[in-house]
């Protein structure tokens, strides 16, 4: 970066389009780059290629009919978005959720978080030139997809939660399969550590590259692993506990370095913490109903302005509902964590080599349909 800044600013530059069809963007994202040789002078993310008007759709259909939309935003961690939306509506409408249903929500969300991190891990290393870890990650992720399919009926765009509970209970086979997965995954983590984390090539590509300061993360509203990799100890599950997360003992991985390696380490550590939460939830799983005894057939929240946030795989996902007392939202605003995380890309990438900027982009863990709603 210093070499670029010392050069004559009046020399010739050229424009390079990264995307909207490029494997490194992992979605329909275009980044307009102004280049000076191999150095980035300016980077401008350009959105809008797959915009589907989710918020407006939430305002012209009933509360229940919007439920499937949640899984079409962050499709890699769809259950977190399910959780955020039903939680907001339940708060607005005063709907009580049985304790067993809350435990089932936590178990399935944390499984979904692990599957999201595994996919990111494999794709991120692939961006850096390593193919084998992708195969291992997808092999492990397949076990989670089988488990979630058995209870939700889906493998990706989940719509499992309902206002007041969940639509299907788990059985002994699911519990045994989940415990077996955790046992297996714990044996796999040392292999990931030896093969990838301690690999000198990965370290050279990530360490001291793409530095995001704590101040910058706060200015752009970054959350999740991006913020925690910059030393910000903020996790909605701990800071503003919701559901039954206050019942569990788990740590929030935080790294002070602020580079791409720190963000990598946060996500790898979070896999273990999610497994801890799932084990505790299975051990404490109460008996009882999974939905209200009196079915919730018509949802009409009182007039008012409501907000609810959850910790998704990429950060704080917030749902703001403005209700006028009818069976549809007057205003629905979705707070996307990846939008804020991507917003800092232009400032961080300035002066970086193009390959380093691609590593930075991978470390942000972007899901474009979540940004471009």
**Does the pLDDT of residue 239 top 90, yes or no?**
yes
53-97 pLDDT, tens digit each: 999 999 999 999 999 998 888 889 999 999 999 999 999 988 999
Q: What's the pLDDT at 22?
A: 72
In the prediction, which pLDDT does 103 show?
96
CA distances from 3 to 13, 37, 339, 347, 357 (A): 15, 12, 30, 17, 16
Of 372, 338, 331, the C-alpha closest to 56 is 331
Predicted pLDDT of residue 26: 75
Answer for the pair 323, 302: CB distance below 8 angstroms, yes or no: yes
- Residue 316 three-state SS: strand
| Contact in structure between 80 and 37 (CB atoms under 8 Å) | no
- pLDDT of amino acid 1: 45
C-alpha closest to that of 80 among 138, 155, 158, 177: 158
**Which whole number is the average pLDDT over 294-314?**
88
Mean pLDDT of 14-18: 90
The C-alpha atoms of residue 371 and residue 373 are separated, in whole angstroms, by 6
Confidence band (pLDDT; 50, 70, 90) for 50? confident
Residue 2 scores a pLDDT above 50: no
pLDDT category of residue 9 using cuts at 50, 70 and 90: low
Query: Is the separation of the CB atoms in 80 and 236 below 8 Å?
Result: no
Is residue 156 within 8 Å of residue 75, measured between CB atoms?
Answer: yes
CA distance 265 to 274: 14
Q: What is the mean pLDDT of residues 154-158?
A: 91
pLDDT tens-digit profile of 187-198? 999 999 999 999
* 0.75 surpassed by pTM: yes
Predicted confidence band at 6 (pLDDT cuts at 50, 70, 90)? very low
How many percent of the chain have pLDDT more than 70? 97
pLDDT for position 57: 92
Q: What is the pLDDT of residues 26-44, one digit of tens each?
A: 778 889 999 999 999 999 9
CATH number of 2-371: 1.10.645.10
Instruction: Write out the DSSP string of 197-241.
Output: IT-HHHHHHHTT-S---HHHHHHHT--HHHHHTTT----HHHHS-
Continuous H helices in the chain: 2-5, 54-57, 67-70, 78-93, 99-127, 132-152, 172-192, 200-206, 214-220, 224-228, 236-239, 260-284, 337-343, 345-349, 354-363, 368-371
CA atoms within 13 A on the CB side of 327: 8
The pLDDT of residue 178 is above 90: yes
Range with lowest mean pLDDT among 167-171, 225-229, 349-353, 368-372: 368-372
Entry field: residues in the chain: 373
Specify the pLDDT at position 294: 80
Q: What is the pLDDT of residue 3?
A: 46
Confidence of residue 142 (pLDDT cuts 50, 70, 90): very high
Q: Which of 21-30, 241-250, 264-273 has the lowest mean pLDDT?
A: 21-30
């Amino acid at each position: 970066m210093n070499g670029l800044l010392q050069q004559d600013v009046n020399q010739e530059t050229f424009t390079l389009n990264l995307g909207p069809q490029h494997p490194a963007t992992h979605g329909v994202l275009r980044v307009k780059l102004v280049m000076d040789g191999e150095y980035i002078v300016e980077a401008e993310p350009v959105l809008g290629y797959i915009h589907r008007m989710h918020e407006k759709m939430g305002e012209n259909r009933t509360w229940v009919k919007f439920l499937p939309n949640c899984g079409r935003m962050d499709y890699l961690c769809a259950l977190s978005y399910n959780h955020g939306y039903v939680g907001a509506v339940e708060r607005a409408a005063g709907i009580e959720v049985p304790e067993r249903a809350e435990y089932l929500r936590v178990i399935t969300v944390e499984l979904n978080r692990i599957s999201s991190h595994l996919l990111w891990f494999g794709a991120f290393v692939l961006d850096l030139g390593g193919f084998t870890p992708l195969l291992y990650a997808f092999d492990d992720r397949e076990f989670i997809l089988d488990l979630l399919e058995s209870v939700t009926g889906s493998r990706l765009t989940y719509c499992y939660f309902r206002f007041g509970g969940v639509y299907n209970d788990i059985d002994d086979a699911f519990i045994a399969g989940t415990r077996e997965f955790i046992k297996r995954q714990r044996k796999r983590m040392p292999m990931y550590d030896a093969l990838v984390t301690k690999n000198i090539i990965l370290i050279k590509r990530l360490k001291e590259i793409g530095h995001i300061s704590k101040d910058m993360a706060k200015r752009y509203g970054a959350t999740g692993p991006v913020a925690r990799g910059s030393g910000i100890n903020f996790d909605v599950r701990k800071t503003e506990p919701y559901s039954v997360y206050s019942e569990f003992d788990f740590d929030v991985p935080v790294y002070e370095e602020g580079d791409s390696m720190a963000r990598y380490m946060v996500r790898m550590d979070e896999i273990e913490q999610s497994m801890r939460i799932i084990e505790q939830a299975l051990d404490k799983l109460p008996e009882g109903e999974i939905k209200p005894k009196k079915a919730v057939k018509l949802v009409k929240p009182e007039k008012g302005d409501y907000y609810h946030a959850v910790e998704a795989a990429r950060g704080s996902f917030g749902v703001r509902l403005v209700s006028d007392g009818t069976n549809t939202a007057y205003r629905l605003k979705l707070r996307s964590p990846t939008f804020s995380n991507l917003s800092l890309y232009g400032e961080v990438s300035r002066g970086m080599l193009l390959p380093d900027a691609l590593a930075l982009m991978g470390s942000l863990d972007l899901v474009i349909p979540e940004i471009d709603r």
